[in-house]
Homo-oligomer: A and B are copies of this chain.
Amino acid sequence: MLSFNEYRNLVNDAILAIPYPKQPENLYEPIRYTMGMGGKRIRPVLVLMACEAMGGDVNKAVEPAVGLELYHNFTLLHDDVMDKADVRRGMPTVHRRWGDNAAILSGDTMLSMAARHMSHVDDDKLPAVMRLFNDTAIEVCEGQQYDMDYELLANVSVADYMEMIRLKTSVLLGCACKLGAIVAGTGEQDASNLYTVGLNLGLAFQLQDDLLDVWGDEATFGKEIGGDIMNGKKTFLLVNALAMASDDQLAELRRWLNDEYAVKQEKVAAVTAIYEQMGLKQLTEKEIVAYSQKALEALDKVKMPDEAKQQFATFIQDLVGRDK
């Protein structure tokens, strides 16, 4: 069994070894740039970990793991175009640097490159791998569409928000776990439980992300604190606040959110204070624990060596307890 760092190194070495054609340079340079931005490599590490935990050959999981990371980075690239985001991981986004067209086309290429790497599995695994990958990719698009739709709505229910992050974020972590299991030749029951592990981990992960945007430490988190508040982004905190607020709280919240000329620090502090007053920090932390718990319960049902199970559990706890 390898350590997290060893899995991550395997992934990073394989990403460095992706063969990019020299030409057309304007197509492949943005892809190389995107894949070189780094990141936690959570999804491909999950693929490798799941594969080895289920008794598979980790080397056979490296190519599909790289495929999944290419896929994930493709979604970030296109999302950045749609969100008009300027910065990603401290660097200018592709569309800022090369323009929208380059970002669209390089992204399209990455999606097909992802499928190509994904298909480097034993022939008898390919049907299940392709079904999982295509189903997941379509769900992620649905999630992104709901996310964009919800930005235009005054109110989004907590249930709709959870369904949106299930599609946009969580199914990809479910896919990562199940992908490793399929490559290892795991039976349907265990593979399906591993999918549930990843799915719930993904939900906890996204709520933690929402939390860190408000209460994280800017230096550690690596992103500006309060970005979601400034953008009026629908997060777990905001949709709960809108659902639970008294008339007075609602009026104050809307006043701050609609105030485009407010000083940033004041606006973030005021909205944060409302969230705290409503007990939303505790509520979110409780939900994060609940989803991690569901992940651990699903993990418990999977037949794998204790040592591997322990490593999986540590990974889950590290990820949902993270401060960056």
Q: How far is the CA of A112 from the CA of B24 in the complex (A)?
A: 24
Determine which residue in A24, A105, A111, A126 has the highest number of CB atoms from chain B within 10 A of its CB, and name it: A24
A117 to chain B, nearest CB (A): 9
Cβ-defined partner of A130 (8 Å) among B113, B115, B141, B144? B115
Contacts of A111 in B (CB 8 A): 108, 111-112
Q: How far is the CA of A133 from the CA of B115 in the complex (A)?
A: 10
9-residue interface stretch from A44-52, A145-153, A249-257: A145-153
Decide if A188 is an interface residue (CB 8 Å cutoff): no
Contacts of A131 in B (CB 8 A): 116, 119
Majority DSSP secondary structure for residues of A touching B: helix
A66 to chain B, nearest CB (A): 14
Q: How far is the CA of A109 from the CA of B78 in the complex (A)?
A: 12
How many residues of chain A get a CB closer than 8 Å to chain B's CBs?
Answer: 39
A119 to chain B: closest residue by CB: B130
Decide if A258 is an interface residue (CB 8 Å cutoff): no
A130–B130 CB distance below 8 A: yes
Cβ-defined partner of A134 (8 Å) among B81, B100, B116, B149? B116
A323 to chain B, nearest CB (A): 32
A101 to chain B: closest residue by CB: B82
Q: How far is the CA of A301 from the CA of B185 in the complex (A)?
A: 42
Decide if A127 is an interface residue (CB 8 Å cutoff): yes
A109 to chain B: closest residue by CB: B141
Cβ-defined partner of A26 (8 Å) among B108, B123, B149? B149
A108 to chain B, nearest CB (A): 5
A137 to chain B: closest residue by CB: B112
Decide if A297 is an interface residue (CB 8 Å cutoff): no
The 10 A-B residue pairs with the shortest CB-CB distance, nearest first, are A112-B137, A27-B145, A116-B134, A109-B141, A24-B145, A82-B101, A119-B130, A112-B138, A115-B134, A123-B127
A–B pairs, 25, beta carbons within 8 Å: A26-B145, A78-B105, A78-B108, A81-B101, A81-B104, A82-B101, A82-B104, A100-B100, A101-B148, A105-B145, A105-B148, A109-B138, A109-B141, A111-B112, A112-B134, A113-B134, A113-B138, A115-B115, A115-B133, A119-B127, A119-B130, A123-B124, A126-B127, A126-B130, A130-B130
